[in-house]
Amino acid sequence: MRPDTPAAHITEAERLLRTATQYPGDREPLLLQAAAHLELAGDRPRASTLYDSLLAGTPAQPHLIRALKAANLWEYGHEAEARAIIDGLRREKPSDAAPWQIAAETLEAHDELEAAQATLTEAAGLLAAEPAAEDLPHATRSLLTTRHRVRRMLALPHDEWDDLADRLHTAEVPLDELHDPKRLWSLGSSDPAELRAEITRLRSELGTYRTALSRPFPVAVLHWPEAELDELLAAYPELEAEYPTYRAHLTDIEASLRELAQAGTPNLGIVPATVPSYEAFAASEAASPANADLLPQYATTLAARGRATPWPPARTAACWCGSGETYGKCHGAE
């Protein structure tokens, strides 16, 4: 569960730092998680130190780390350095959406709307070069949604990428209404209908506000490959109530993720599970692997180590279940 007090965030950051020493191969995602918790705890200088330590090596995601560092620096008074980092990112033209979006949201948060719009437009030209192409990765879709919001605040007319963002948006509230800067907020109303409408708008906004990579708090669901599930249930038959059959397991994964997505939960992912890894985790927690309460904790720990695959995949990408079919023809089918 995501902590909600500074002390809890510090505790979680320390736990992640200890885990990083145990799993040096997963050091980068674990330190990114720890830095995010330190930011939420208000310890921004220490978070910057973690970003610097990652950048001192050869990180797998240098653009993402630099974008997060810039966002953090600006929040505690280092505007000039943050601007320089963002300008450098724009010149380097990252090929993934997350650094672009984090940089643009940093500019937006500090009332630099024109610069945010220009940054997002550069990214759209690079990552969604064909505005008619609708089968885009989740992170690129999120970037187009953010661009739509910024352009609405600037009162700019729709262009092809705004039209694409509208088509890709599946929530109940249309993007034009969701991003209307003149929208009347009704939370103080005593009219139940107005309150319900505003709650619907808020849920929709929460579900589309951040890209999956912009802040590392993924909600991860375990996927046991069939051979691993057979081994798990043979060793720990107490878990059969959780996994009655392999087919039911796959169905439950997709159904759970769709339900979470419909409720507006961002940052959804799937983590592959193995029996040896699960047993090692249980031993580290001084608990029995037969304890079903351990399963969600195991999923969260794998996600923190960067093992989660974002969900949903593109409809033309391979399905997460490993069937060999595309997602659109397999679990992504209506």
In this structure, the answer to whether residues 82 and 168 fall within a common structural domain is yes
CATH number of the domain that residue 111 is part of: 1.25.40.10
In this structure, the answer to whether residues 245 and 158 fall within a common structural domain is no
In the chain, the number of structural domains is 2
253 within a domain of the structure (yes/no): yes
pTM: 0.69
Residues 44 and 72 sit within 8 Å (Cβ to Cβ): yes
The C-alpha atoms of residue 295 and residue 241 are separated, in whole angstroms, by 13
Instruction: Look at residue 170 and tell me whether its pLDDT is greater than 90.
Output: no
**pLDDT given for residue 286 in this prediction:** 85
Residues 333 and 294 sit within 8 Å (Cβ to Cβ): no
More confident residue, 1 or 195: 195
Phi, psi angles (nearest 5°) of residue 258: -65, -40
In this structure, the answer to whether residues 226 and 199 fall within a common structural domain is no
Instruction: Look at residue 6 and tell me whether its pLDDT is greater than 70.
Output: yes
Q: In what order do the strands lie in the sheet with 309-310?
A: 219-223, 268-272, 309-310
Instruction: Look at residue 204 and tell me whether its pLDDT is greater than 60.
Output: no
Choosing from 177, 208, 239, the residue where a domain stops is 208
135 within a domain of the structure (yes/no): yes
Identify the CA nearest to 307 among candidates 14, 15, 25.
Answer: 25
Residues 301 and 284 sit within 8 Å (Cβ to Cβ): no
239 within a domain of the structure (yes/no): yes
Q: How many CB atoms lie within 10 A of CB 215?
A: 19
What token pair was written down for 66? 């630099």
Choosing from 186, 208, 230, the residue where a domain stops is 208
**pLDDT given for residue 210 in this prediction:** 41
What are 222's strand-pairing partners? 271
Q: Which domain holds residue 161?
A: 61-208
83 within a domain of the structure (yes/no): yes
The C-alpha atoms of residue 232 and residue 185 are separated, in whole angstroms, by 51
Share of the chain above pLDDT 70, in %: 87
In this structure, the answer to whether residues 162 and 87 fall within a common structural domain is yes
In this structure, the answer to whether residues 160 and 252 fall within a common structural domain is no
